[in-house]
Amino acid sequence: MPKNIYGFQYGKYGETRAIIAKETGLGLMANNYTNKGSAFSLKERTALDLDGALPPTPRTLKTQVTNSAIKVAGKEDDIERFIYIRALFDRNVTLAHALISSEIKHYMGIIYTPTVGLACQRYSTIFRRANGIHFYPGNINNAEEILKRYHHRDIRVAVVTDNQGILGIGDQGAGGIAICLGKLMLYTEGAGIAPWHCLPVSLDVGTNNKSLLEADDYLGWRHERLTGDDYITFVQQFARAFRAIFPNALCQWEDFSKQNAFAIRDTYLHDLISFNDDIQGTGAITLAAILTAIKIKKEKLQKQIFLVHGAGAGGVGIAEQLKTALVEKGLSLAQAVERIFTLDSRGMVTTERELEPYKKKFAKDPAKLGWYKDSRDGELLNVIKKAEVTILIGTSGQGGCFTKEVILAMAGNSNRPIILPLSNPTDKTEALPRDIHTWTEGKALVATGSPFAPVSFQGRKYPVSQCNNVFIFPGVGLGVIASGAREVLPSFFTAAARAVSDHVSPKAMKNGELLPPVEELSKISLNVAQTVGETAIREDVGSLCAFSEFQHNNDPKRLRELIINMRWRPEYLPVISQTGPP
C-alpha cells in the first residue's frame, strides 16, 4: 500500500482545520491536497523544508486565481479549458476550486455539462493523471484492498458509474469516470465537501462501443459489456466492499442504463446509503420548477394533470417524484398515479403492452380511460387533448417533437401552461423557448434542460430557467451526511425541491423564472442540506453524524450549526509538520 505523506486535523464539526505533513520537502508540492504552489509562506517554507524550492516572494491565492483565469481564457476551446482546469486540480485542489468559485456559472459549463461529454469521448487521448478507482473483472476480487488505500481520506461521498448511459451520448467505456470527477467537483462547490473526502469510481464492465474497442489508445477493459449474472455479481462485489470499508459514506449511482439504473438503486436502497441522481435528482429539480410555476399560477399541485414524454430513467424518475409529492399533498397512491401519464417512442405507456419493470408503475389501463381505443389514441397530441394535460415534460431526446400544434393544445388546457422541454443538448430539446413563448403569446411557464438565453417577445424579455441537478444533489448529500441518515428516502427529494423553489424571489417569479440563479448554488445547497437533514430526523432515519464530534441531537438549530461549520471553502489550510506547527 502506498505511503501517505499527509493526514488531516479535524475540528469538532468534522471540518478539516489543517493538513498534517507526515513528510516534508518537495513531496508536499507534488501532492495536490498539500500543494500551495507559490503561496507557501516564508515561515511554512522554512518549517516544511521548502526553503529555496520556490522564488522568494509568495503569492496570494487571489493573485493565483487571477493568473489562472487568464490562462484558462487563453485556451482555444472548452475542451482545452477542461484539460487545464483538471490539470490544475491535479496540482493544487484549493486553487482549482477557488478559480471555479470565482465565476461558478461560467466554469461549471467547462468542468461539467456540456464540455464533460467531450471529455468522456476523448478520455483516453487526454488522460494525464490517475484520478479515482477503476474496477474491472481483473481486480474486482480485490475491491476491499483497493478501497482501503483511500481510507485515510475519510471518504464521505462517492460517485459511481458503469459508464453506459453518459449524457445522452451512451456507452463511453472507461471515459465515464470524467462524469464522476465533474459531479464531485460540484459536490465541493455546492455542499463544501472537501475534495479529499470525495471518491470517483468507474465500474468498468467493458463496452459495446465498437469505436472504443477498435481504438489503439483505448485505456478501458477491452471486452464487450458483462451482462446477466456476471454483471450482477460484479456490482455486488463492489457494493459489499464499499459498505465494508466506507459504511457511513454516501454512494451516488450515476449514468447507468435505464433498467440497470432502477434495479441497482432499488437493490441497494437499504444496504447502502445511496441514490441515483439521474432518477431522483432529475425528479427533484423538475418538481422544484413545477412548484414555482404552481405558485405563480396560484393553483394546487394536486389539481394538475402531468404528461412525461420520454419514459427513460429521467422521465420515470420525474414521474416517481411527482407521485411522492402528490401523496404528500393528500392524494392516495392510486389517485396520484392516475394524474400522471407517460409516453415513450411507441406512444402512451399502457398495461396492454409488454413493458420493462420500471415502466409498469405508471402504465395506464386503456379500459379505464374511455377515450383510448387503439395505439393511435396514445399519440402525444391526442393524450394532451383527451387527458386535459396542464404540465408537459419532455425527456425524450426527440428534438422538436413539441410542435406548434402540441403547444397550442397545451394552451387550450390552461391559460398558463407549464412546459418543460428538458432533453439536452440543445439540438435534442423538444421545443425552443423562443417558439413556446411566441406560440403561447408569452403565457407559458418554461424551464429547459439545456441553457438558453432570455427570449424577447413583444418588447419583453423572458428569462429561461435551466433544470440543473446541481441545485439538488450536493445539498442532499450534505444533508444525508450531517444528519447521519442511514438511507436516502424519496421524501428527501421532495424536501430538496421545495427548498430550491423557495429560493426563487417574487421578482423572479413575476418574470416567469422557475428556478434560482446558479450563482446562489452554495446558499441553496446549504438550505437543501438543512431541509433534507430535518426530514431525515423527522422520519427517524437520522442518527449521529459519523464524521463529527459535534452531534445535532435531533435539534434543527444544532443541525444547521453542524452543516455550516463542516463545509470546506477553497482557502489554503495551515500545513503542520508532524513534529510541530511551522
| Predicted pLDDT of residue 1 | 40
- Rounded to the nearest angstrom, the gap between the alpha carbon of residue 78 and the centroid of all alpha carbons in its chain is 21
Does residue 571 sit within a domain? no
Q: Based on the fold, state whether residues 252 and 339 are members of the same structural domain.
A: no
Strand locations in 102-154 (E): 133-135
Does residue 36 sit within a domain? no
Q: What is the pLDDT of residues 414-463, one digit of tens each?
A: 999 999 999 988 888 999 999 999 999 999 999 999 889 999 999 899 99
Task: Provide the grid cell at 520.
Answer: 446562489
* Amino acid found at 235: V
- Cβ burial, residue 255 (10 Å; 0-12/13-18/19+): buried
Q: Based on the fold, state whether residues 450 and 514 are members of the same structural domain.
A: no
> Per-residue confidence at 64, pLDDT binned at 50, 70, 90?
very high
Q: Based on the fold, state whether residues 440 and 480 are members of the same structural domain.
A: no
Please name the residue ranges forming H helices in 150-199. 177-191
Neighbouring C-beta atoms of residue 168, cutoff 10 Å: 14
- Higher per-residue confidence, 87 vs 375: 87
Does residue 285 sit within a domain? yes
Task: Residue 238: name the closest of 163, 143, 145, 147 by CA.
Answer: 143
| Predicted pLDDT of residue 259 | 86
Measured between its terminal Cα atoms, the distance across the chain in Å is: 29
Residue 463 sits in a domain whose CATH number is 3.40.50.720
Exposure pattern of 131-162 as b/e (b: 16+ CB <10 Å)? bbbbbbbeebeebeebbeebeebbbbbbbbbb
Does residue 84 sit within a domain? yes
Does residue 80 sit within a domain? yes
Residues 6+ apart with CB under 8 A from 59: 37, 38, 39
The CA angle 84-86-144, to the nearest 5 degrees, is: 160
Q: What is the pLDDT of residues 188-199, one digit of tens each?
A: 999 999 999 999
DSSP string of 207-231?
---HHHHT-TT--S--SPPP-HHHH
Sign of CA dihedral 47, 53, 59, 63: negative
Residues 132 and 152: their CA atoms lie apart, in Å, by 14
Rounded mean pLDDT, 147-168: 93
Q: Which residues are catalytic?
A: 112, 183
Q: Based on the fold, state whether residues 411 and 483 are members of the same structural domain.
A: no
Rounded mean pLDDT, 292-308: 97
Average pLDDT, the chain: 95
Reply yes or no on whether the pLDDT at 481 is more than 50: yes
Reply yes or no on whether the pLDDT at 579 is more than 70: no
**Paired strand residues for 342:** 308
Q: Which domain holds residue 326?
A: 280-467
Residue 447, Ramachandran bin (φ over 0: left; ψ between -120 and 50: alpha; else beta): beta
**Paired strand residues for 157:** 198, 250
* Amino acid found at 110: I
Question: Could you give the percent of the chain with pLDDT greater than 70?
Answer: 99
Q: Based on the fold, state whether residues 331 and 450 are members of the same structural domain.
A: yes
**Paired strand residues for 340:** 306
Q: Based on the fold, state whether residues 94 and 218 are members of the same structural domain.
A: yes
Residues 271 and 324: their CA atoms lie apart, in Å, by 22
Reply yes or no on whether the pLDDT at 580 is more than 80: no
* Three-class SS state of 220: coil
Cα-based distances in Å from 95 to 34, 100, 183, 352, 576: 11, 9, 18, 57, 19
| Predicted pLDDT of residue 3 | 63
Residue 70 sits in a domain whose CATH number is 3.40.50.10380
Q: Based on the fold, state whether residues 121 and 248 are members of the same structural domain.
A: yes
Rounded mean pLDDT, 58-86: 97
Does residue 96 sit within a domain? yes
H or E segment and range at residue 306: strand 306-309
Q: Based on the fold, state whether residues 288 and 419 are members of the same structural domain.
A: yes
Query: What is the three-state SS of 266-295?
Result: HHCCCCCEEEEHHHHHHHHHHHHHHHHHHH
Determine how β-strand 455-457 pairs with β-strand 460-462: antiparallel
Residues 268 and 581: their CA atoms lie apart, in Å, by 44
Does residue 408 sit within a domain? yes
Does residue 55 sit within a domain? no
Task: Provide the grid cell at 238.
Answer: 463492489
* Three-class SS state of 156: coil
Q: Based on the fold, state whether residues 555 and 414 are members of the same structural domain.
A: no
Residues 185 and 193: their CA atoms lie apart, in Å, by 9
Rounded mean pLDDT, 523-550: 96
Residues 6+ apart with CB under 8 A from 151: 245
Give the count of alpha carbons within 13 A of 200, CB side only.
24
| Predicted pLDDT of residue 4 | 77
Task: Residue 83: name the closest of 503, 91, 386, 22 by CA.
Answer: 91
Residues 205 and 227: their CA atoms lie apart, in Å, by 9
89 near 185, Cβ under 8 Å? Answer: yes
* Amino acid found at 404: K
Q: What is the pLDDT of residues 234-268, one digit of tens each?
A: 999 999 999 999 999 999 999 999 889 999 999 99
Rounded mean pLDDT, 378-402: 96
Q: Based on the fold, state whether residues 559 and 541 are members of the same structural domain.
A: yes
Phi–psi pair at 557, nearest 5 degrees: -65, -40
Phi–psi pair at 166, nearest 5 degrees: -80, 115
61 near 81, Cβ under 8 Å? Answer: no
Q: Based on the fold, state whether residues 206 and 290 are members of the same structural domain.
A: no
Rounded mean pLDDT, 519-548: 96
- Return the residue matching grid coordinates 429560493: 503
Reply yes or no on whether the pLDDT at 582 is more than 80: no
| Predicted pLDDT of residue 167 | 75
- Higher per-residue confidence, 383 vs 424: 383
Domain count, the chain: 3
Rounded mean pLDDT, 219-233: 97
Task: Provide the grid cell at 188.
Answer: 465541493
> Per-residue confidence at 130, pLDDT binned at 50, 70, 90?
confident
Residues 285 and 473: their CA atoms lie apart, in Å, by 9
Q: What's 166's DSSP letter?
A: B
> Per-residue confidence at 202, pLDDT binned at 50, 70, 90?
very high
Reply yes or no on whether the pLDDT at 493 is more than 80: yes
| Predicted pLDDT of residue 425 | 80
Residues 6+ apart with CB under 8 A from 50: 24, 25, 26, 28, 29, 40, 44
Rounded mean pLDDT, 347-364: 93
Rounded mean pLDDT, 210-230: 96
| Predicted pLDDT of residue 168 | 72
Phi–psi pair at 194, nearest 5 degrees: -55, 145
Q: Based on the fold, state whether residues 286 and 239 are members of the same structural domain.
A: no
* Three-class SS state of 342: strand
